[in-house]
Structure 1
């Protein structure tokens, strides 16, 4: 066999006999993912401006897009009524325009993937951000990231509907929108990818991973055009713990936070059932929740709004002792009442604030009981926010990477990972469904990564019965 015959043989038996993992259709999806990432990046910045406008209007009586914090208002006791007004407006939007504006954002997106072939109404592209801006801008103790994630998912689904695609391809575009939204909100590209994998895709395949990666790159590019190298949560540099006892303490903190995350999840389910039993129309629920939020906001204004500045203050060690403990309780109560009333809400930022305060409080308690152990409150805050996020949402890897990337404190990787592992294991052991999937399971929807594993003993019992 001469040279040309050998080349012909290799061509026929090597290059054409194997099907490529990546094809032209996948390249189209990648290109669309880049467009989605760019669009989500701009939409995220637009949502922040709208929230600023709503906050300025309701709390300061002016028309401005400048950054404004509800906690800095000078309304006194009149601030009590602002969350009620916001809840009433959101309820009216849900009642007379579209009830889909209710919810965290992430569970509703998961539902569309699992039972609706990743089809989302296109008008949600505007309704969800609008209702979220009203909810957060009027003092709702929620984050803006949930609506941004829902908007990214809607954008991905919309592209999948404009171009004829299969449900699997739409799911990839939808997940790419979610990944880009997390990157746009927190400056966390890896966190966005892993959140999409853990909560949307339930798989780790190249044809899903590459589009998500391209989307976060595009979204991060747009984010840098607006904020430069500013971080979501700015904090001073931390160092790697040198004592093995510190790592053990962070594991113990993770265990306690895991137990608390289970209690928080059950509390939300219980309060939601109370609202469902009320003899009033569900349209009034957000306004009713606004009463509780407004009352707590008068006591401690820092619980109002997304609270990113407060989270940064916690991470810098400026919130410690009794103040951290009280802020943990009050923020949790405000979030519990607000989220149970089914208003438009993002859960990530509240969990970060609650978890950060909890981590600082537990580290202070350890140092009080054992004076020879002195934990860094800044690292403890990071461990707390990441661990609570992992325990409540079950997005284990996303919780680690979002915390590290949003702060750029990569030296704290081991403590954060240690706490997240502990909280995640406790959550898995004590609770079958997370806060994001409980409502879906009640509807009979099967969650792929929450199926109970069949053990060898189960097989043996089945064989014995036969």
Structure 2
């Protein structure tokens, strides 16, 4: 006897193939995108004279006029490319990937990943305040969708491949494979997980991470000092979570208000959309330069690009309190202008910078008030926990963001304070999310509505939904009599009984086939459907509905031990479905 594994081999193979193929594409895509970002930043911002700081704090300020030229032209080229070839590549790509999962069956046009890669490299490389998470998520998700088409996967499997692409891409480029894998299941919903994406995402993230690190090395994204968290620090981190939640809400509101204003303005005056990113880049540059000249260079120019170099300085304790506070709000404004106007980039990196600056400022304030409890060497932990709390709250992905920051800093002592802070931030932010295409749960997703309906129908028995007081006819009644019965009761069909036994069913459609002049003399037995398909009282509504659909009928007699005990119609099934949803609080 041949023993078979306790799983369906074809499903196992598909999961593995999805994970491996998407992981390879995510890793290679991360390498290409990373290289493009490095080159574009070097040449474009280098032309303006801007050199981001190294770990010693040394950096060079850009020439304001050259920066204005570079950012505006960058926005113009981005708008021209995006709105000409792939309008869905505008803004932050993660939202488009989430939208494709819920509303487009996991389909992404083949050109989108390429356009997104080029447009994002230009936006970020010319100083636009944006991150690489959104682009790589949409790029990897797009190629995941393409892999699904090549493998001729079902729509459900195609959606899973897309979700896997999101996590694998982010996990690869941020060197956070576990956090990226969990992100693929968590980022799609505000209050739920796409559990089916988790296993292939683990495979894909490991593959993508390994490929990318073979190119860029295994060093973490941030160089983080050694910190030790004690029990008496936790209340301070909880307060930090509260503050980060409030600032996170400000970030979300500012971002979407700005995006709405740009769309409204360009639509009102019938202006070409290709100019939108350029206008946003121009205004963002003016804001950045004004803050740099009037207040402090770091508080202004720190908002250019992704901002990770300045975030690194905050972790090393090289930024003063006032600069971190101002930079957090400048980054909110610059990001809203850059991406809200249609520039291509992600909101993850800006969110981390904002959270890190807020967290660093909070840590320094606590240190100045309670120096014996919050010592200076613990302040870097407030920077990292601020990143976790702020973006974990507004992305509705607290677990994955928590793990990702621990991986990006290679410091797992952040887990406990991060858990405390992000839990508070998640509650404070409520329904505010930076990803507008997220839905609350799987039930609310168009991708799962049919599946959820079937799951609910499996929970209800026919006997709990059927009509028990059944009106029947005999085979010797005339068709005319049955027609008058239909007119009087509104029922569209009746079981036919003879000597108490079900022998057929007659419907309005059967009667319609009989000419008017013959209905008074034509017997029911001559036009009824004999030996009709039936349901049992213990059948579930799913199987009853399937029988109706397969046979093309709208009702089934319910028979038990050869005796008619009721009738079930499609209308009865719909009513039962609505009742159970109300009972569960779904509607």
Q: TM-score range by the shorter chain?
A: 0.7 to 0.9
Is structure 2 residue 170 aligned with structure 1 residue 168? no
- 1:152-190 per-position Cα deviation (integer Å, ceiling 9, x unaligned): 100100011112111111122112211211121111111
In 2, Cα distance between equivalents of 1:272 and 1:233? 31
Q: Pick from 17, 23, 27: which aligns with 1:41? A: 27
Scaled by the length of structure 1, the TM-score of the pair is 0.85
- Which residue number corresponds to residue 272 of structure 2? 281
Any residues of structure 2 matched to 1:154-233 within 5 Å, and which? 154-200=142-188, 203=193, 205=195, 208-233=197-222
Is structure 2 residue 267 aligned with structure 1 residue 268? no
In 1, Cα distance between equivalents of 2:194 and 2:45? 45
Distance 1:448 1:368, change over 3 A: farther
Any residues of structure 2 matched to 1:35-74 within 5 Å, and which? 35-61=21-47, 69=52, 72=60, 74=62
Q: Pick from 118, 133, 136: which aligns with 2:124? A: 136
- 1:197-243 per-position Cα deviation (integer Å, ceiling 9, x unaligned): 112485454x532211110110111122122221111122222x22x
- Which residue number corresponds to residue 454 of structure 1? none
Report if the CA contact (8 A) 1:390-1:424 is conserved.
yes
Report if the CA contact (8 A) 1:320-1:360 is conserved.
no
Report if the CA contact (8 A) 2:259-2:336 is conserved.
no
- Which residue number corresponds to residue 374 of structure 1? 374
Report if the CA contact (8 A) 2:254-2:332 is conserved.
no
- Which residue number corresponds to residue 225 of structure 2? 236
- Which residue number corresponds to residue 242 of structure 2? 255
In 1, Cα distance between equivalents of 2:445 and 2:434? 15
Q: Pick from 4, 12, 16: which aligns with 1:30? A: 16
Any residues of structure 2 matched to 1:402-421 within 5 Å, and which? 402-421=404-423
Q: Secondary structure at the match of 2:26?
A: helix
Task: State the Cα RMSD in Å.
Answer: 2.8
In 1, Cα distance between equivalents of 2:395 and 2:446? 13
Distance 1:403 1:447, change over 3 A: farther
In 1, Cα distance between equivalents of 2:9 and 2:91? 37
Report if the CA contact (8 A) 1:52-1:68 is conserved.
no
Report if the CA contact (8 A) 1:41-1:222 is conserved.
yes
Aligned length, in residue pairs: 428
In 1, Cα distance between equivalents of 2:130 and 2:140? 18
- Which residue number corresponds to residue 352 of structure 1? 352
Any residues of structure 2 matched to 1:87-166 within 5 Å, and which? 87-166=75-154
In 1, Cα distance between equivalents of 2:214 and 2:128? 28
In 1, Cα distance between equivalents of 2:251 and 2:310? 21
Distance 1:181 1:79, change over 3 A: same
Moved more, 184-193 or 75-84: 75-84
In 1, Cα distance between equivalents of 2:51 and 2:35? 10
Is structure 2 residue 352 aligned with structure 1 residue 361? no
Q: Pick from 388, 391, 397: which aligns with 1:389? A: 391
Q: Secondary structure at the match of 2:302?
A: helix
Moved more, 112-121 or 226-235: 226-235
Structure having the larger proportion of residues in helix: 1
Q: Secondary structure at the match of 2:187?
A: helix
In 2, Cα distance between equivalents of 1:425 and 1:158? 37
How far 1:335 sits from its partner (Å)? Answer: 1.2
Q: Which runs of 5+ in 2 are unaligned?
A: 54-58, 293-299, 449-579
Moved more, 373-382 or 105-114: 373-382
Report if the CA contact (8 A) 1:69-1:305 is conserved.
no
Structure having the larger proportion of residues in strand: 2
Scaled by the length of structure 2, the TM-score of the pair is 0.68
Q: Which runs of 5+ in 1 are unaligned?
A: 1-7, 450-458
- Which residue number corresponds to residue 428 of structure 2? 426
